[in-house]
Amino acid sequence: MKTKRALIVFGSVIVTLLAGCGRGALDLAEQQDKPEGSPIVVGFSQVGAESEWRVANSESMKSTLSEENGYELIFDDARNEQENQIRAIRTFIQQDVDYIVFSPRVETGWTSILQEARDAGIPVIVIDRDIEVEDRSLYTAYIGSDFRKEGETAVAWLENLLQKKGRTENPVRIVHIQGTIGSSAQIGRTAALEDALERNPNWQIVKQELGDFTRAKAYEVMGAILKETKDIDVVYCENDGEALGAIDAMEEAGLSCNTEGGVIVISFDATKLGLSYCLQGKIALNVECNPLQGPYVAEIIQQLERGETVEPVKHVEETAFDCFTITKEMIEGRGY
């Protein structure tokens, strides 16, 4: 929907203006710069490569926004630093890309750079995690997960399991390993656990530590916790990497992870690796977080190219897997 893209019709300008992210005046001379059939240039700032999930998300973007599909993708890995993301987005603006897409590290701190993108008239699509800005029209669309719902699925399943086991009064001792603080994924999953703690007075947080969504960090913090106590019923990990790291540490310390008297491990993502742990019973519940967001982004871009209005918020489809019902076939048929 950028002004220089050929074949832009008046309707798309109206849409842009309605969306509040329009390029100022339509410069016809500039528009003709870009020959018909030239690729759509997309600058994508990926937060990093901290998890299997993230790698699958990058791959989905790269394979969808490919040359064969009519795109030129400029991919930047921010190595988990918000400053790097802001720098990359500024570079995309200087490069005058057609669209900017980014997966934000945290929810806050984006207003100024989005204002710069808007001044340059470049539509911005936020993926994976959402952002918090006063003026919602600073970005055209958000595509990602409903992290709060993911957390609610996890705690409802745990409540049900503990109820079946008659664990409604004795203390349930929980270790909580959090993801990157301030990211939507952490905020939503943590909020659901906090709500469940309020309605289940016998649930207790033994320790809450930062796992940064990585296996290495979770292994480290879980190892330290186990030096203080092994009296743990549940470990609530905010992604598969953390679950795997925590399981490594618990097994090394002689604890078993299972629902039959062992430690109950809850995880999010449902990557193939995470699900293989679920199949073994080591992860009791794995709530899916769908990284295959490239096709959703392409659909939005195509709608904008045609001058159509786009849905401002699109949550990707997600499900959950537990150790009682998962099968090998379910894992094999999955895309990541």
* Closer CB to ligand AHR, 185 or 292, in the complex: 185
Closest of 156, 126, 128 to residue 138, by C-alpha: 126
Nearest approach, Cβ of 15 to ligand AHR (angstroms)? 29
* Closer CB to ligand AHR, 13 or 273, in the complex: 273
CB 211 within 8 A of CB 245: yes
Nearest approach, Cβ of 145 to ligand AHR (angstroms)? 7
Closest of 252, 282, 240, 280 to residue 264, by C-alpha: 282
Nearest approach, Cβ of 126 to ligand AHR (angstroms)? 12
* Closer CB to ligand AHR, 85 or 239, in the complex: 239
Give the span between the Cα atoms of 31 and 100, in whole angstroms: 18
* Closer CB to ligand AHR, 122 or 141, in the complex: 141
Query: How large is the angle between the packed helices 147-164 and 184-199, nearest 10 degrees?
Result: 30
Give the span between the Cα atoms of 188 and 301, in whole angstroms: 27
Nearest approach, Cβ of 164 to ligand AHR (angstroms)? 27
CB 285 within 8 A of CB 261: no
* Closer CB to ligand AHR, 148 or 165, in the complex: 148
132's tokens: 């918090």
At position 14, the amino acid (one-letter code) is I
**What separation, in Å, do the N-terminal and C-terminal C-alpha atoms of the chain show?**
31
* Closer CB to ligand AHR, 71 or 142, in the complex: 142
Give the span between the Cα atoms of 183 and 239, in whole angstroms: 13
Nearest approach, Cβ of 212 to ligand AHR (angstroms)? 9
Nearest approach, Cβ of 185 to ligand AHR (angstroms)? 4
Q: With b meaning 16 or more CB within 10 Å and e meaning fewer, what string describes 139-156? A: bbbbbbbbbbebbbbbbe
CB 152 within 8 A of CB 184: no
Residues that bind ligand AHR (CB under 6 A): 50-51, 53-54, 128-129, 185, 213, 239, 268-269, 289
* Closer CB to ligand AHR, 71 or 139, in the complex: 139
Nearest approach, Cβ of 121 to ligand AHR (angstroms)? 28
Nearest approach, Cβ of 238 to ligand AHR (angstroms)? 7
Closest of 15, 65, 60 to residue 39, by C-alpha: 65
* Closer CB to ligand AHR, 128 or 152, in the complex: 128
Question: Which distant-in-sequence residues (6+ apart) come within 8 Å of 314 by Cβ?
Answer: 141, 142, 143, 144, 296, 300
Residue 9, helix vs strand vs coil: coil
Nearest approach, Cβ of 34 to ligand AHR (angstroms)? 34
* Closer CB to ligand AHR, 97 or 247, in the complex: 247
Mode of pairing for the β-strands spanning 141-144 and 234-237: unpaired
